[in-house]
Chains A and B, each alone.
Chain A
Amino acid sequence: NAGVTQTPKFRILKIGQSMTLQCTQDMNHNYMYWYRQDPGMGLKLIYYSVGAGITDKGEVPNGYNVSRSTTEDFPLRLELAAPSQTSVYFCASSYSRGGNSPLHFGNGTRLTVT
């Protein structure tokens, strides 16, 4: 099992550019999540999905979009990159949403917007 795989690992964008952060998991987990991590600020939930075809907003969804066409993949789209979106982005998955089903995280995508 590869677990949760994120690509790319690093990316530099100019203001106004768009990009898609890729996330795939091979654990057949129904639940997938996107978090952003800013220095000293912990993890903030951007979007999550409870299964293919279903997505919901988290705490900080503005400026992002997601889709979940398959169980395995949960890409995160930035349409008009802004400096405030400079962050480290983590994708995660879990079997269910309860406390007995902990999150499995990918290794992150470090994004810089200049």
Chain B
Amino acid sequence: GQQLNQSPQSMFIQEGEDVSMNCTSSSIFNTWLWYKQDPGEGPVLLIALYKAGELTSNGRLTAQFGITRKDSFLNISASIPSDVGIYFCAGLSGTQGGSEKLVFGKGTKLTVNP
């Protein structure tokens, strides 16, 4: 089945540093999504990408939909302590109306030291 390889698995950084994480797959996706999960809570959508090559920002977060449609990355600039959490990528494949499938990566656990 379809799989997403998300890396790194975990990151330990100092406050103020930039962060980069990515997801790759051997399969093509129509939509890439990035979610953040705070400790003890459910994932919350950060950014959605709908077209190959698309670059989208949400505050200090920037994400890109890879040209090949098989990868995506998420960058966080000038990290702050509240960026702590698990970041998940998710890819949506198939066609609208019944065959769509959403696949999640295994997550990147981010720790920010003040």
Contact = CB atoms under 8 A, between A and B. Distances in A.
Interface of A: 4, 40-45, 59, 90, 92, 97-100, 102-103, 105-108
Nearest to B96: A98
A111 to B, nearest CB: 15
Given A99-B31, A108-B42, A42 B106 contact: yes
Interface residues of B, number: 24
B111 to A, nearest CB: 15
Given A43-B88, A107-B40, A107-B42, A102 B33 contact: yes
A99 B33 contact: yes
B45 to A, nearest CB: 4
Q: Is chain B's binding surface mostly helix, strand, loop or mixed?
A: loop
B30 interface: yes
Interface string B1-32: 10010100100000000000000000000110
Interface of B: 1, 4, 6, 9, 30-31, 33, 40-45, 48, 50, 88, 92, 96, 100, 102, 104-107
Contacts of B104: 42-44
A99 B30 contact: yes
B99 to A, nearest CB: 10
B96 A40 contact: no
